[in-house]
A and B are shown apart, each in its own frame.
Chain A
Amino acid sequence: MTGPGGTLAAPGLARPRDSGEVAALLAESRRVAPVGGGTKLAWGAPGDAPDLLLSTEGLGAIVEHNAGDLTVILEAGVTLRGAQEQFAGVGQRLALDPPDGDGRATVGGILATADSGPLRHRYGAVRDLILGVRVALPDGTVARAGSNVIKNVAGYDLAKLMCGALGTLGVICEATLRLHPLPEQSITVWGSATDPGVLARAARLLAGRALELEALDLRWDGPAAGGCLLARAVGRAAASTAGTVAALMGEAGLEVDPVHEDDAELWAEQRARQRALPDGAVVRVSALPADLERVLGACESAVGRAALGLAWVRLDGEDAAGVERLRAALAPAPCVVLDAPEALRRAVDPWGVVEGPELDLLRRVKARFDPTGVCNPGRFAGGI
């Protein structure tokens, strides 16, 4: 299978139609790679070659959209774009906006990779939006955890455990997610500077105010071109909030652009820059807000969540030394190679996880859920 994010080949391809079929395939197979829209095939370590590609395209139903409760039950193969179109029809949305690979990215793939976009600023990550999960396990069973309501503490939160596990514990077949109302209007304010210190200070000033911004992002194009902060104000009083933002940006020394009411393109560009250029690589940096200046100083091209300390840094796809330099410069911030040519993912450990009690515990979890290594073996942190 070839997607915009790489290629994955296997002798077998299956398109199960329900969770029971997924579980049966896991129970009788050796090495299975679950695939959705194929937009993130180049994520993680190269791993062992799978015997079977398990496509989730047969799991394409919006099982239940409970508009009045702002919840939805989706099968894994539903595309994010398709689902959002349905939610928008009733003024709602899933507050999750990772790059969607021209509409191909599926809910299952987004959950399995815990990918996120600018809305992360206000609404959190997939882990914060997921309420329940139905997962096919390598022992051939189908287990459900969580619930279909927005508040529940019964049982272990395996839904969060599955988010970001890259399909190495089982295959997410269905998930219940919380929805949010679509804002009636939005205004983006944009302020630029060439000095990373000025940008970082402005980011902290905005992050410390309860402006209820929907997104607060950063874009960086190296010391010569500089960068900018983008703040998206929403709600009835969006104009008033945008005015406050512009004043604060000015106060912090940014050059403030006029406000943008037609702001979709600006944010599409932010999302696109979380992906590598052709033959390039992207590293996701988990820094702290206070480290922002250091992050910008260590790279030539990045986007990020200014108040959260997360940044996506673009590198040359053959530059293993560049990955190591970035890690050294930003230690102890985790730097995960997401999207990169296979050669780079062989040259450096994409996860950058070191041996220790934490990795031992990850392996113990894997050993309990997938003792024989059926699910995506070798692709996850620490060779899991």
Chain B
Amino acid sequence: MAQPVPAPPARPPSGDFPAAELVRRVRAICGDEHVLTHPHDLRTYQSDGLLHYHVVPPVAVLPGDGEQVREVVAVCHELSVPWVARGAGSGLSGGALPIADGVLLVLSRMRRVLEVDLENQRVVVEPGVTNIAVSHAVAPDYFYPPDPSSQIVCSIGGNVAENSGGAHCFKYGFTTNYVTGLEVVLPDGGVVELGGKHLDPPGYDLLGAFVGSEGTLGVATRITLRVVPAPESVKTLVAFFADVRSAGAAVSAIVSAGLVPAAIEMMDALAIHASEQMAHAGWPPEAGAALLVELDGPRAECEARFGELETLCRESESTGVRVARTAAERAVFWKMRKSAFPAAGRISSHYFVQDGVIPRTRLPEVLGRIEELGREYGLRIANVFHAGDGNLHPLVCFDGHRPGEAARAEELSGLILEACLNAGGSITGEHGVGVDKRAYMGKMFTEADLAAFQMLRCAFDPDGLANPGKVMPTPRLCGEVPGPYRVHPLEAAGLADRF
């Protein structure tokens, strides 16, 4: 794994942190053993999955249930102390980076599956439950589709905050398409139920607004998820290509033919080389690109379409197609893909991962631009990505011990995001903005767009206590709400008009 590169904290300590009273009160709520104040204990929480940002929080609190979360948040509100919620800490944008003058609310003890209701295809969990545990709770007849690569450790609470995706979202969608209900503790200590097990609750779709809000609107303490029947058949192949461009053409051919694969994942030569060292799949070393394609569904449909898929790959100048004949072979294919990030650590001492998105049809052009940037900067870039979604994960490799190289790699990463935006895409497809991509928000959104985001933020968190310093490019305050419009007495009397 890449080593941390120091970076300045997102927010300097303000110096008036009411440590003593806060600690006394949260201990009374959660118990002494669940409130950490010793720097040695707190260092565990200094970073999330994005190790080059680190801030040691002054206090970490590990509540045991939703009521304790509510009480802790209420105390923070009363003392005007900001807080950051953290699940498993596997996020890749610094979204759970602590703040130097705030509380870190660690939800890892809240890992109960509260209800499995298969008749209604729902599961109710606490936020600390891992993503994979949801699928396990409903196996073998059902599963929970959003599957980030970190699914064995990442928590559902974190998935909700980040609107996590995964390899199977081209067909199945994202976290937001599977959350039907949330119990949310608001930054003022109030509790709201958004949605439930049912669909179409009357009122604004606050559930839709909350999922993916990166912990800045409140903290979810109970989560209701939709699960779906497990497919009857799953068929997986890997097709090799001379280069990324021809693999990209195959993706277009597959999608244009009306196929909706459960997953279409691409790896370039450097990524294959790295993953091979961990997964030992024995893929051809000369392959310029590999396309991992999975179809699932009713058996007859899957069979019919799979033949078509093989033909399309061969017609797109694939240099070889391997079909997974057993579950073990399929697992090896997926291990190649899912070990790409950790495996990058074997070919480079340090790397930055990007998460840009482009329209799928622009793949060849943008990949060409990335290659050109790599040459220009003299840095290697491994590409692994969700090709169906156009979600790129270029891994910019560098040596952090060489002076200036980290800065150049960071600059290069920024130019990759710009290339994505120029192609009509997005700066982040699934990792979130966090602290890492705040600086790029102003390139994707106008001041009016950001002001509209802030309207939502202020409705939930007028005091700016929930995960401050994340998402938005610059700190913003919420003004007072002008009171609801009232008819002026003169107006009512017909003596004046507001126009």
Q: Please give the residue numbers on chain A whose beta carbons come within 8 Å of chain B beta carbons, in ascending order.
A: 28-30, 66, 68-71, 91, 114, 124-125, 127-128, 135, 137, 141-145, 147-158, 160-161, 163-165, 169, 180-182, 184, 204, 207-212, 235-237, 240-241, 244, 284, 286-290, 307-310, 333-334, 336, 351-353, 357-362, 364-365, 367-369, 371-374, 380-382
Contacts and interface: CB of A to CB of B under 8 A. Distances in A.
30 contacts: A68-B360, A69-B359, A114-B205, A135-B452, A141-B451, A145-B453, A151-B391, A151-B429, A151-B430, A152-B357, A152-B426, A153-B163, A154-B445, A156-B471, A164-B205, A208-B141, A240-B301, A288-B120, A288-B198, A308-B199, A353-B202, A359-B203, A365-B204, A365-B459, A368-B481, A371-B481, A371-B482, A371-B483, A373-B484, A381-B202
Contacts of B446: 143-144
B144 to A, nearest CB: 14
A281 to B, nearest CB: 16
Given A212-B298, A284-B200, 19 more contacts: A66-B361, A70-B255, A125-B200, A142-B448, A149-B426, A151-B357, A151-B391, A155-B433, A161-B204, A163-B208, A209-B229, A307-B121, A334-B202, A358-B203, A368-B458, A371-B481, A372-B484, A372-B485, A373-B485
Interface in B444-484: 444-446, 448-453, 455-460, 471, 481-484
B443 to A, nearest CB: 10
Interface residues of B, number: 97
Interface in B157-187: 162-163, 165, 169-170, 173-174, 176-177, 186
B297 A310 contact: no
Contacts of B445: 144, 154-155
Query: Is chain A's binding surface mostly helix, strand, loop or mixed?
Result: loop
A361 B360 contact: no
A149 B197 CA distance: 29
A247 to B, nearest CB: 13
Which 7 residue pairs of A and B lie closest in terms of their CB atoms, listed nearest first?
A160-B208, A143-B452, A237-B300, A372-B485, A181-B258, A152-B426, A240-B300
A157 B174 CA distance: 13
Given A149-B357, A208-B141, A288-B120, A235 B456 contact: no
Contacts of A163: 205, 208
B458 to A, nearest CB: 5
Given A145-B452, A151-B169, A210-B228, A309 B199 contact: yes
A269 B192 CA distance: 39
A147 B443 CA distance: 13
| Max chain B C-beta neighbours (<10 A), residue from A237, A351, A380 | A237
Contact of A372 (B389, B425, B482): B482
B209 interface: yes
B226 to A, nearest CB: 10
B360 A236 contact: no
B130 interface: no
Among A69, A169, A308, A381: residue with most chain B CB under 10 A:
A69
A310 B197 CA distance: 12
B238 to A, nearest CB: 22
A241 B360 CA distance: 31
A150 B119 contact: no
Contacts of B426: 147, 149, 151-154
Nearest to B228: A210
Interface of B: 117-121, 141, 162-163, 165, 169-170, 173-174, 176-177, 186, 190-194, 197-206, 208-209, 211-213, 228-232, 252, 255-256, 258, 260, 297-298, 300-301, 303-305, 357-361, 386, 389-391, 424-433, 437, 441, 444-446, 448-453, 455-460, 471, 481-485, 498-499
A147 B355 CA distance: 14
A373 B444 CA distance: 30
Contacts of B228: 210
Contacts of A359: 203
Nearest to B200: A286
A308 B226 CA distance: 11
A19 to B, nearest CB: 11
Contact of B256 (A68, A142, A155, A351): A68
A358 B193 CA distance: 7
Contacts of B203: 351, 353, 358-359, 362, 380-382
B120 A127 contact: no
